[in-house]
Amino acid sequence: MSYLILVVNPGGGSTKVALFDDERVIFSENIRHSHDELKRFPNTLSQLDFRVSVIRKFLEDKEVELGKLSAVVGRGGPFKPLESGTYRVNETMINDIQSGRTQADHPSNLGALIANKIARPLNIPAFVVDPVSVDEFDPVARLSGLKELPRISLSHALNIKMIAKRFAKEIKRRYDELNLIVVHLGTGISVTAHRKGRMIDVNNANDEGPFSPQRTGTLPLTGLIKLCYSGRFTEEEILKYVHTQGGLLSYTGTDNVLELQTRAQNGDNEALFYLSAMAYQISKEIGAMAAVLEGKVDAILITGGIAHSTLVVKEIKRRVEFIAPVEVYPGEDEMLGLALGALRVLKGEENPKEYK
């Protein structure tokens, strides 16, 4: 017998919906919501009933028999810090989301609510898996150098944990007996240290570490402080710059790594230089995480969209291969990550965690 799992992943202007038969995808589609449809809602949470009805209609069109579903799983939001795992959507979680007790207002907060709305009448469980706020830091990782600014754990936990577990399965070991460095290369970049199944340090991809296609990463602080007090920029402008308009985009005018790779391969030295600089900083962060793990590293796993760039991967490999063997898993599959998280619980391989 296999499990039929509905996966829901709400984004800003769309909701991704997929159906899985165990780990096999039956369909995965992105339902777009027009600006006109969404503009009548004052905030993200008030879109709940609208999005649910759109999904129900979509499933009807696809002739999905809801009665055959085993579970519904939604993307988790920027909840309060929590351990990695698959969480049953419970009243506490729903209350926290609805009363704004999360770290940010983000469409992913709808994931748990939608999953719950669909699952409840069917009497099947609703889950969320590894939200961005997964926090398994050792206390020592929380200090920055200034009391007012603690380091926090925000990462592409869903994809990172999925890849870590996939690798463990491939080499027939358990994730919780391995030490790994998992690197997610997307528009943001997370470099994470995993010690025996716990992600004990990670550069907060919004605020720290290597620069990415769109983000500046760590900057020399004096220069940044001078910009803040220059009177030339507002707070929003600087934050927007740091989070969405820095990095490759600010140096080369594009955040498209594959385009830069093509340019580099055609002799554009500037494109080559900035891709190398990004790889250089990613490598340094990997080296730092190797020290976190005291050099006991079973493997370095590189994943995310940029892992498709052979040039970037080669540049990183050259610098970090002395630490541990490097495995590459290009792309990011959030829908599969969510389905697998639900499946592990349905199969009894893992206990669901209780959100408190």
- Asked if 319 interacts with other proteins (CB under 8 A), we say yes
Q: Which stretch binds other proteins (CB under 8 A): 48-56, 94-102, 135-143, 334-342?
A: 135-143
Nearer to other proteins, 80 or 319 (CB): 319
Q: Pick from 178, 185, 292, 342: which binds other proteins (CB under 8 A)?
A: 292
3-state secondary structure of 261: helix
Dihedral sign from CA coordinates of 174, 175, 177, 181: positive
Measured in whole angstroms, how far is the alpha carbon of residue 54 from the centre of its chain? 25
- Asked if 103 interacts with other proteins (CB under 8 A), we say no
Amino acid making up residue 224: L
Q: Which stretch binds other proteins (CB under 8 A): 74-82, 122-130, 280-288, 345-353?
A: 280-288
- Asked if 287 interacts with other proteins (CB under 8 A), we say yes
- Asked if 220 interacts with other proteins (CB under 8 A), we say yes
Site for other proteins in 236-275 (CB under 8 A): 238-239, 241-243, 246-247, 250-251, 273-274
- Asked if 31 interacts with other proteins (CB under 8 A), we say no
What minimum distance in Å lies between the beta carbon of 296 and other proteins? 8
Q: Pick from 6, 19, 93, 141: which binds other proteins (CB under 8 A)?
A: 141
Q: Which stretch binds other proteins (CB under 8 A): 2-10, 139-147, 159-167, 343-351?
A: 139-147
- Asked if 184 interacts with other proteins (CB under 8 A), we say no
What minimum distance in Å lies between the beta carbon of 104 and other proteins? 12
- Asked if 195 interacts with other proteins (CB under 8 A), we say no
3-state SS of 236-254 is HHHHHHHHHHCHHHHHHCC
- Asked if 191 interacts with other proteins (CB under 8 A), we say no
Amino acid making up residue 138: D
Can you list the pairs that 267-275 forms with residues at least 24 positions away whose Cβ atoms lie under 8 Å? 272/311, 274/248, 275/248, 275/309, 275/311, 275/312, 275/315
Q: Which stretch binds other proteins (CB under 8 A): 76-84, 164-172, 279-287, 343-351?
A: 279-287
188: tokens are: 């943001």
83: tokens are: 């351990």
Q: Are 245 and 235 in contact (CB under 8 A)?
A: no
Q: Pick from 277, 327, 328, 353: which binds other proteins (CB under 8 A)?
A: 277
What minimum distance in Å lies between the beta carbon of 145 and other proteins? 3
Q: Are 13 and 49 in contact (CB under 8 A)?
A: no
Closest Cα partner for 347 from 20, 31, 110, 121?
A: 20
- Asked if 186 interacts with other proteins (CB under 8 A), we say no
Instruction: Compute the half-sphere exposure of residue 66: CA atoms within 13 Å on the CB side of its CA.
Output: 17
Q: What is the DSSP string of 119-172?
A: HGGGT--EEEE--TTB----GGGG--SSTTS-------HHHHHHHHHHHHHHTT
Nearer to other proteins, 74 or 246 (CB): 246
- Asked if 227 interacts with other proteins (CB under 8 A), we say yes
Closest Cα partner for 44 from 91, 95, 109?
A: 109
CA–CA separation, 200 vs 153, rounded Å?
9
DSSP classification of residue 71: E
- Asked if 229 interacts with other proteins (CB under 8 A), we say yes
- Asked if 151 interacts with other proteins (CB under 8 A), we say yes
Q: Distance between terminal CA atoms of the chain? A: 33
- Asked if 322 interacts with other proteins (CB under 8 A), we say yes
Binding site for other proteins (CB under 8 A): 139-141, 143-149, 151-152, 204, 206-208, 210-211, 215-225, 227-229, 235, 238-239, 241-243, 246-247, 250-251, 273-274, 276-277, 280-281, 283-292, 294-296, 318-323
